[in-house]
Chain A
Amino acid sequence: MQEMMIIILSAILVNNFVLVKFLGICPFLGVSKKLDSAVGMSLAVIFVMVLATAVTYPIQMGLLVPLQIGYLQTIVFILVIAALVQLVEISLKKYVPSLHQSLGVYLPLITTNCAVLGVTILNIDEKYTFFQSLLNSFGAGVGFLLAMVLFSGIRQRIENNDFPAAFKGIPAVLIAASIVSLSFMGFSGVIDGLFGH
């Protein structure tokens, strides 16, 4: 139980994918303008991350490792995740149209998102078991959600403010992102403190 908490919490706060590991920056900057699209996108990310892990982990362990072709990991994972997301989209459209309506726009966007690919590869690098990998992916997705929601609030403030011409638009957003990211660095050590390691 404690181990589960440690994995999830550290994936959300300490190793936040966006703010600490700097993965998935492009949707972070692109889709965080509005709260509802930020949330929709993040839900799709959580969903795809967990699903992608569930599929790629067996492939790595059952196919690539025994055949000693671990170096093909990146390319095989990209292939599998892309196909998987497309498949999910097609079947959602058919069987759960309501979910497709809300996730639909964002699903294709994250087909080859680096955060999704990143989480599957990191799970293997960390030598997690299958169950731990799923937990870690879920935590990473929730961390993404947290970052997106926090940042969409900041984005709205940025939009309503006047900046010197040189900083208008993306520069101001990048500076804000770096400050948020700095503040997340403050979480390192929190987990150790909480669980006394």
Chain B
Amino acid sequence: MQFIIPVGIVTAMGLLAGGILTIADKFMAVQMDETAAKVLAALPGANCGACGFAGCADYANALAKDEEHAIKANLCTPGGDAVAMEVSSILGVEFEGASSKIAIMKCSGSRDRTSYAMDYQGHQTCKANKLFFRGRGACEMACLGFGDCVNVCAYDAIRIENGLAVINKYKCVGCGLCAKACPNALIEIVPDKTRVVVGCSSVDPGKVTREICAIGCIACKLCEKTCKFDAIHVINNHAVIDYTKCKNCTACAKKCPTNVIHVFPRPVSAPQQKPKPVAAETAQVEAPAQ
């Protein structure tokens, strides 16, 4: 009979625990907001974080909770206009076009313009190479060319050409995963209307840059003097454009002695009939395939 007590106790504890959990589950249940669930279904589910929230579910929840509609319904760049439209109709707010973004590449150092300082045989990723000394490029901030960015891009918008990452702006949705993957932070996410890009991030003084790269920014500040809108400044030995001020007038690009400021063909979403040969040599964003 001595087994009655132990069996009884364990059974009682099991029942008790089960009971408590059932009750807790009933009383502390959190329902998912209906609107949030609908918004979540409308979002692409890429969980990329381009909207500034920790994934699609977080964004959907924030939208549903926000009664004054302070959070915009068009933050999902991968989803674009279609998703923005659907989300706005679920929330009953007016539709605004998705604020499209695009990735730009701030290095132009392909193999014919600059060189490698070492014959790196280690693990073939940008991240590993960057850990080793300061990367294989002669320029510390050069594209490492192993394509960490290519590997993370879900839209097949980047490829490595001649040791340099090249972004296809017609495929890029501006999700920003590549920007996070690049150990040299060479990729920046900018408004889609951007036409002028400084293709260099070198931190070396102008003299050094001139020796190791045929197209590096030499920090001469000509662009800074040319710009009428105070939108371009030499910071840390390379020119940086402030896209909130830039009017795309391209004056700086014309003045630049090393041609490191690239100008892209204008149309953004509608691919042009005839891609202009402009900048074909220097542009880091390619024209659409014909």
Contacts and interface: CB of A to CB of B under 8 A. Distances in A.
A90 B17 contact: no
In which size bucket is the chain B interface?
20 to 34
A83 B10 CA distance: 13
B14 interface: yes
B20 A69 contact: no
A33 B108 CA distance: 34
B9 A67 contact: yes
Interface string A54-84: 0000000001000101001001100110110
Interface string B96-139: 00000000000000000000000000110101100100000000
A162 interface: yes
Contacts of A93: 28, 30
A79 B122 contact: no
Contacts of B127: 160
B21 A90 contact: yes
A69 B30 CA distance: 39
B28 A90 contact: yes
Interface string A79-101: 11011001100110111010000
Contacts of A91: 24, 28
B62 interface: no
A87 B25 CA distance: 8
Contact of B20 (A82, A83, A161): A83
Nearest to A95: B28
Given A80-B17, A87-B21, A94 B131 contact: no
Contacts of A95: 28
A161 B127 CA distance: 11
Interface string B1-44: 00001100110011001101100110011100000000000000
A100 to B, nearest CB: 9
A93 B24 CA distance: 11
A72 B21 contact: no
B21 A79 contact: no
A69 B13 contact: no
Interface of A: 63, 67, 69, 72, 75-76, 79-80, 82-83, 86-87, 90-91, 93-95, 97, 160-162
30 contacts: A63-B9, A67-B9, A69-B6, A72-B6, A72-B9, A72-B10, A75-B10, A76-B10, A76-B13, A79-B14, A79-B17, A80-B13, A80-B17, A83-B20, A83-B21, A86-B21, A87-B20, A87-B21, A87-B24, A90-B28, A91-B28, A94-B28, A94-B30, A97-B30, A160-B122, A160-B125, A160-B131, A161-B128, A162-B122, A162-B123
Given A79-B10, A161-B122, A162-B122, 9 more contacts: A69-B9, A76-B9, A76-B10, A79-B14, A79-B17, A83-B18, A160-B123, A160-B131, A162-B123
